[in-house]
Amino acid sequence: MASARLPGKPLADIAGVPMIVQVWRRATEAAIGPVAVGAAEQVIVDAVRAAGGEAVLTDPDLPSGSDRIARVLEIIDPARRFATVVNLQGDLPTMDPAAIRACLGPLADPAVDIATLVAASDDPDERDNPHVVKALVEFEAGSRTARARDFVRLLPDGWVGPHYHHIGIYAYRRTALETFVALPPGPRELDRRLEQLRALDAGMRIDVALVDTVPHGVDTPADLERARVLLASRIR
């Protein structure tokens, strides 16, 4: 709720409902399992419950979304029925439910600890934009999954290969999530402000699935207006 660029953004109206409810709907539409919203403020919990969803109030001082979903799992699944969890950020109201399902794909390989999504980008403005996180990855011919080598905000000098826009959604094996949140942040994570580097530096394996489009995240008033237009056109 205290977003600097868009205060109160989880409750921003998009097509008649709060943004967090739109995100909850996309997750529900993916139809891969129960959906719960982990929130730091009671007003977000109330909004989700009013829409018929499940929401859990968590400590606002948790350091990351990964810590938040780990806490939600402890609360709603103490019997450990679920071995996998998908962490979808609450500012992706235009996320394609098919892409949420695709994020689980790399976990078919038992060697993979964490899965996430990327989309190929030919936008020259993205290359030098530190707000766009890139995955360094090489896909074999015909494959839509590959192992992530690194995640960066700025491409290495002389980089000539394609660059892939990283999409902020993760599928964790539950045991990998528990290992991850117990680790201290490392130097690369702190320097780049990318928590997935903590996993790579600890020897955990992250694979990516390639999808065709990047969902429009909402960080600014302009982003919000774009999301409103996109979702209004879907409803019509």
- How many CB atoms lie under 10 A from the CB of residue 116? 22
Give, as one character, the DSSP assignment of residue 63: S
- For the chain, the domains span 9-219
Lookup result for tokens 């008649």: 16
Task: For residue range 202-228, list pLDDT tens digits in order.
Answer: 999 999 999 999 998 999 999 999 999
- Into which CATH architecture does domain 9-219 fall? Alpha-Beta Complex (3.90)
Cα–Cα distance, 203 to 80 (Å, whole number) = 25
Task: For residue range 108-153, list pLDDT tens digits in order.
Answer: 999 999 999 999 988 888 888 998 999 999 999 999 999 999 999 9
Half-sphere exposure of 144 (CA within 13 A, CB side): 11
Token digits for 69? 């979903």
Q: What is this structure's pTM?
A: 0.93
